[in-house]
Structure formats: C-alpha cells, structure tokens
Structure 1
Amino acid sequence: MVAALGAAAFASAPFTAVAAELPGNVRLVIGSNSTGGDTYQAASMVADALSKQLGINIKVDAVGPNEAFKAVGRDARGTTIMLHHDQSYLGNLYGQRGYEDIFDAYRIGPTVAINPGNAYLVKKGSKYETIDDVLKAAENGTKVRVAIQPGGVSEIGFSAMKNAARLAKPGSDENLVAVNTGSQASKNQALWDDLADVINGSIQANEQFAQLPADDQKAMQFVWITASPDALKQAPEAGMGKLSRDDMLKYAAPNVAVPLKDGENFDFDKEFFFIYNKKMDDGIVKQIDDALAAVYEDGKLPAELKKAFFIPDFRPSDAARTHLTKKNDTYSQVIADIRSTRASK
C-alpha cells in the first residue's frame, strides 16, 4: 500500500474531477474470515492496484460476511467498502441468516475477477465416471450422495444437478441427496470415508488428489467444472498443476452437459465484486470505476490475477449490477423450481 498523497499532489492525480472523493484511508471489508483464501487474495491484489492508482491507503480486513455487510451498511462516506463474491446474493436465495437482498439493501459496485475453479469430483474408480452417469443414476432410481456446504457457492451446482434430473424425469431429483458438511477438508473426508459419492471441490484444492494413482485411497477425478467456457478459455494455457486449460475445458460446458432449460447448459462463474452503502455518493462510485478501468487497461493487474489463477473480469458498476441481477434471477428460478417440485409432492 502507498501513503495518502498530500493536497498538492492529490490535486494532480487523475481522478479528482468528481463531486466527492474517496478519503485517504479506506477499509475494504471482505466476506471471509480467512486471510489465506481466494477472497482475500483477490481483494489484496485489487486493493493494491487501486491504492497505487488513486494515491490512497486501502486496507483489506477479513471480517466475514455478516460483519462486512454491517460495516458497509453503516458507512456512506466511502471510508468502508466491501468486496465479496456470488455468495452475497446466493445466501439470500437459499435463506441463510444474515443475508439480505443485496440489490435492494446495498449498491452494487464493479466486478473485478473470476475464480474459475468451482468443481465436482468422485473417487477414482467410482461407478460414476461422468456427471451424466450421476444424472442417469438418479433418473434410474439410485440415491447419489453429494457433499456440499449448504447455502451458497458450494450448493448452486448441486441445485443445478437436481434441476437437470428434474427436467430429465420429474421426481428423480429427490435421488440426489445432499450431505451437508463445512470446509473443503470435511467434504474430502466424506468422500474418502464413503459417506458421499460426489463432492463439491475446486481445481485449486483438489487438483493434487486428481494426480494420485487410482490405487491411492485419496485419489479423485473431476466430473464437472462449473465455470463458463468463456472464462476457462482465458485461463493460462498451462492451467494449474498438471491440469492444463484443455483438460479443464473437457469437464466444462458444452463438453459436460448439465441442462438448465431448452438445450441451454448451466454454468457458474464465481465472481468477485464491490458492494457499497446504498447512499454512497455517485462521485465516489465513478472515481472507483474510472480508476479500475485505467488499472485493467494498463494490463499489470490482469497479468497478476492470471498468475494467481483468477480471470480478469472488470465491469463498471452499472454494467455489473445488470450482469449480477441476471445471474441472481437465473439461479433464483432454478432454486424455486426445485422447491416447487418438492412442495407439490
């Protein structure tokens, strides 16, 4: 981080012709308690680039979603802003405590990055070698246990699987059974202990297990990577570990089909974006949008994001709101259709 500029120096900085400006010291709260996860990593890189562009201090503070929402909800001055990902609205769609409708309660800021790693895996040697095997088993009446962390990013792919089963054969979605766990380690352990047939995981966390020989009890194989093909095609060609970009694309749409509706496949990009106080000044919003536009055009931050296995994903605030509202509406319908099928029984 760099120190705040003095008055004379700041007057010559590139983003001052606005009604209001960010203060010299800004707290960027994130919806994670971890300083080792992807949210903190993305926030740190973006905050550092934004600090340098604006000549201010931005400190990343890992406080978790509930405290982050409270903090940004109290501050319309721009002293506190927030960065999180799709969990921000998925938590509300799944009825998780502490999650409001962010499109009503807050102001949506720009998108900045995608983590393309969200995935589903099975044991090597499993009778379910593909996601199609899983869906066919459910259609044929077999119970398939899927380990997830309920209420958000971990569950949305599971909801899509249930929706696809429902479309193939109404009622068969009940054969996909959630095994509710917590951390990635807990999901992995559920697979190894034969408490689950399929688990939600990630390329970053599980690629190492996909490289193990089949006779290793911890060996896994990918069956579905939920990221959109457009996002994955922007990943480094080398991929991650021994999983190349071409390998990743084999596990994503359209090569892996999880139907959403009428020939359209489901995909899910885990996107990181800013969230502001609902009353934050338009000038400050523009200041951040313009600064980030310059940062992404420069190319240094996008290159750093790619090295860390993020996909650069800048949209200014208005475009981000439109984009994220569309995602929210799509996933809301998927969840509602599953619930209505269950309620009709």
Structure 2
Amino acid sequence: MLTPEHQLHAIWLCFEIPRAGGRLLETGTEDFLKLKSSGKLGNVPVIVVLTKYDMLIGRIERNLDETSANGLNDKAIKEVVKNKAEAELQNTCIGPLKQFAGPDIPYVTISTEADYKQTLVHLIEITESRVGRYSAPEAAVMTSIAQRVHPGLKIKASIEVGKKRYWKALGSCPMFKNRSMWDCLRVLHIDIVDVWNFRDPHKYLHSQEFRTMMMNMVDKIEVGPATNPTKTMAFGLSMVGTIAAIVSALAGPAAPIVVPIAVGAVLAVWAYDVYQISHAVLQRFMAYIIHLTLVLQTLYLISESQELTRRAIKLAVNCYIESPMSGEANTRIQDYDDQLTIVDRMDSDALDKIVEVMQFYSIDEAQMSKLREKPHVDLPDEPWS
C-alpha cells in the first residue's frame, strides 16, 4: 500500500483572511490539522495559504488613525500598516493554526492583485523547498516545472534535469554516437523547452524556425580563448533595462519583428557533422544550453503566462541578443579553462561552468519587480519572416 507521501507531494490549505474577531478554522479543518500534527499524514508537507492579503492591507489603511500616521512619509506609513497587518494575522490566523497544527506548518499570505505578485513567488519558493525536503528530488523538480510564477526555479529545474539527463552524456554516452550534432542538439532543445512549461499550443518553441534562430546564435561563438579575458562582467539591472527598452520599441502592432532565420554556411558545416567530442564542439554545446535557457527566461518575462506567439518569441530573441547578457555569456564560455582532458572537463569543469553562467544570469525577485513596472503589451501572432 502506498504511503501518503508517495501519493501527494504537498497540500495547500487555503483560507480567506478573516476580519478581526472572525473565525479562521472550521471543525473539519481542525480535525485535518490534528491528523497532520499527529503524524498520520506522514511526511506530506502542508502549507497554509492565507488569501486576499490585499484586502487586509486595504482595511488597515482605511482604519489607520491620524495619530499613527502623523509626521510619517509614505514608506514609513506602509511599514506601520504592514506591522499592524502582521499583528492581526497573529491573533486571527497564526495562533489558531499553531493550536491545532503545531509550530512546524508554514504559512504564506497571498494576493493575486498586481502589486502583490511577490507573494505568489514566496508561496512557490516555500512549496518547492518543502517538497524537496520531504519527497524524492524528482518531485521538487516537477514542482518547479509545473509553476509559472518564479523564473529562478525554472533555471534550477533546468540545471537538475540537465545534470540527470544529458550534460554528462555529451562526453561519453553512446546515445550520441554516430549521430549528427543537429540530432544531439534536438535532444537538448526538447528537454530544456519542456522544463519551462510555456503555454505553447502551436509548438512554436519546437519549430525548425526557432531551432535555427538558436543555432545561428551559437554559431557566432569564437572557439578558443576570448579576445579580452580580463573583461569585467557588468550585469545588474542591465537586462531589465534592455527588455523594457526593446519591448517599448518593438511590442507595438506596427512593423513585424525581424530575426534572421536562414542557416549560415559555417553552421551547416558543423551542425550536420557526425558528433565527435572536441573542444570546439564542447563549447558550442555549452553555448546552446546556456543561450537557450536564457532566451527562455527572457521569453518568460515578456510573455507573462500568455499563450505564446511567434512575435513574442522573436521579441525575446531580440531582447536577449541586444542585451549585454548574450555577449557576456559567450565570453564566459570562451574563458573556459583548457587544462584538462575532454572527458574530465565534461565531467567536472564544463558542468560547473554551465551552472555558474545560468545561475549568474538568473533574474531575481528585485529584477522581476522592476520588470513588472513596464506597461502590459499585446503580442499578436505574425509570420516567422
């Protein structure tokens, strides 16, 4: 017989935040929480989700007396409101929860309103953390793949899937033997795209046109040491500014977005050769993994969970190419150390370098908040060219 943790990965127990003096828990919920605290639910993590946090904040702001706000600026007033909200939550929600469930059940306050999207990110982070702690590692990866709120967890899932499925295989696995490099890249492409779980009913991200865009991007890499290995990497909010500027310029309905999708002559030479591990091939595989992941991160930020269009995809590719990120990623790959043998490097240094670059350019919550300030734009479909 399967235990609960083999059937469930996590439980979200959702409650609307009651008014002061209101009752949070019904009898049936109290019984459920007692089952959890007694251990009868096994290791299945339970996360209490307190909804409509924006309404609590709004109610406290409306009832804030002048004495509390006297002489305070807007930032200080928001802090007062937040503290009062936390105090009310402790009285109406957290106290009753601890009484029936014990101290170890985490809780999250959330709102789906635009100004509170960071609360959803927090919920996803806690869920992924708890699932990773109490379930098989694969369950935590699937949690990251399923969610469409937190791009940083998509990067993390891409790394975990890559480590398990294909990164080491590039160096030694017979699955690539006697196959063209285009076939090898197809395997990488499918796995990476699937991790991001876009709303892509037309399979645009699996199309030949998008694959060719990525191949052209990789083909620009100069194999060998970088021309300026001492170059300082300056990222910060540069990607945020680039996305905001390009979206403003190109997201309107006027002119189609142009991205070259013709296969170059050099690309045709190496992409269709039979796979043979070498320094040049290794760098190109690293570049494909890194560039595709970061393009998809950019698309994630632009598309905002909408159904994908070819215009949105081309906009993401343009944003990435025009940003400092793409050139810096190439430089980091070109700076890659050539001291070890090919196989040793694939088993250690190359894997570490892929992880390092992907994590370095992962968009964090502060950058996400900055990007949310950009106006929403419609991205209607249009031909690839």
TM range (shorter): under 0.3
Larger radius of gyration: 2
Greater share of strand: 1
Does 1 or 2 have the higher relative contact order (CA < 8 Å, sep 6+)? 1
Counting helix residues as a fraction of each chain, which structure ranks higher? 2
TM-score (norm 1): 0.23
Give the TM-score, by structure 2 length: 0.21
